[in-house]
Chain A
Amino acid sequence: MSALETPTTMSDAPQGSPPRARAAAGRPPGERSLAASPSTWFVWAGMAAFLVFLLGIIVAVVVDSFGRQWFDTWLPLEWTTEWYASSWDRFDLTHVVGVTVGVALAVVVLSVLIGVPAAYLLARRNFPGKRLVNVLFLLPILMPPITFGIPLATVMYSFGLGRSVIAVILVNLVPSVPFVILTMTPFIEQINPAIESAARMCGAGMRQVFTRILAPLLVPGILAASILVLVRTVGMFELTFLVSGPQSDTLVVAIYRAMTSAGGGEARQLVSAMAVMYTATMLVMLVAALRFVNPTQLVAQVKEARDD
Chain B
Amino acid sequence: MTAVADRPARSTASLRHRLAERGVDSSLWLMVPALVFALALFVYPFSYGIGLTFQPSVATQEQWGGGILANYVAFFRDPFVFDSIWITMRLALPAALFNVLASIPVAMVLRRRFRFKRFMTSVLVLPITLGTVLTAQGLLIFAGRQGWLNRFLIATGLVDQPVQLVNNYTGVMFSLIITGFPFAFLLVSSYLSGIDPSLDSAARTLGAGWWQRFRRITLPLLAPGLATTFILTFVLAFSVFPSARLVGDAMGSTRVMSLMAFRAFGEQNDYAMASTIALMMGVVELIVVAVVLAWRSLLYKGSTGGKG
- Separation of A207 and B44 alpha carbons in the complex (Å): 31
Q: How many B residues have CB within 8 A of the partner chain? A: 109
A114-B34, A150-B274 given; A10·B181 CB < 8 A: no
Check A296–B189 contact: CB distance below 8 A. yes
A22-B198, A150-B265 given; A295·B137 CB < 8 A: no
Q: A133 interface residue, CB < 8 Å from B?
A: yes
Check A57–B139 contact: CB distance below 8 A. yes
Q: A262 interface residue, CB < 8 Å from B?
A: no
A54-B127, A154-B271, A235-B129 given; A121·B28 CB < 8 A: yes
- Separation of A42 and B151 alpha carbons in the complex (Å): 25
Binding-face segment, A77-85, A91-99, A139-147, A217-225: A139-147
Q: A242 interface residue, CB < 8 Å from B?
A: yes
Closest to A272 in B: B137
A4-B231, A58-B130, A155-B45 given; A117·B137 CB < 8 A: no
Least CB distance from A71 to B in Å reads 6
A43-B109, A146-B241, A150-B275 given; A74·B133 CB < 8 A: no
Check B27–A121 contact: CB distance below 8 A. yes
- Contact indicator per residue, chain B 231-261, by CB within 8 Å of chain A (1) or not (0): 1100100110110011000000000011001
Q: B86 interface residue, CB < 8 Å from A?
A: no
A43-B105, A60-B148, A260-B245 given; A238·B239 CB < 8 A: yes
Q: B residues within 8 A CB of A140? A: 42
Check A10–B186 contact: CB distance below 8 A. no
Q: B41 interface residue, CB < 8 Å from A?
A: yes
Least CB distance from A200 to B in Å reads 11
Closest to A269 in B: B141
- Separation of A301 and B186 alpha carbons in the complex (Å): 10
A10-B228, A64-B141, A155-B44 given; A282·B130 CB < 8 A: yes
Check B197–A147 contact: CB distance below 8 A. no
A22-B198, A148-B42 given; A238·B37 CB < 8 A: no
Q: B200 interface residue, CB < 8 Å from A?
A: yes
Check B24–A128 contact: CB distance below 8 A. yes
Q: List 19 A-B contacts (CB under 8 A).
A: A14-B196, A22-B197, A39-B105, A43-B108, A54-B126, A57-B178, A125-B23, A133-B31, A137-B38, A143-B282, A143-B285, A150-B265, A152-B41, A153-B265, A206-B27, A235-B129, A237-B242, A286-B122, A295-B121
Closest 10 CB pairs of A and B: A151-B49, A57-B138, A118-B34, A144-B239, A23-B197, A117-B30, A147-B282, A300-B190, A282-B129, A60-B142
Interface residues of B, Cβ cutoff 8 Å to A: 22-24, 27-28, 30-31, 33-35, 37-38, 41-46, 48-50, 52, 102, 105-106, 108-109, 111-114, 118, 120-142, 146-149, 151, 174, 178, 181, 183, 186-187, 189-191, 193-198, 200-201, 210, 224-225, 228, 231-232, 235, 238-239, 241-242, 245-246, 257-258, 261-262, 265-266, 271, 274-275, 277-279, 281-282, 285, 289, 293, 296-297
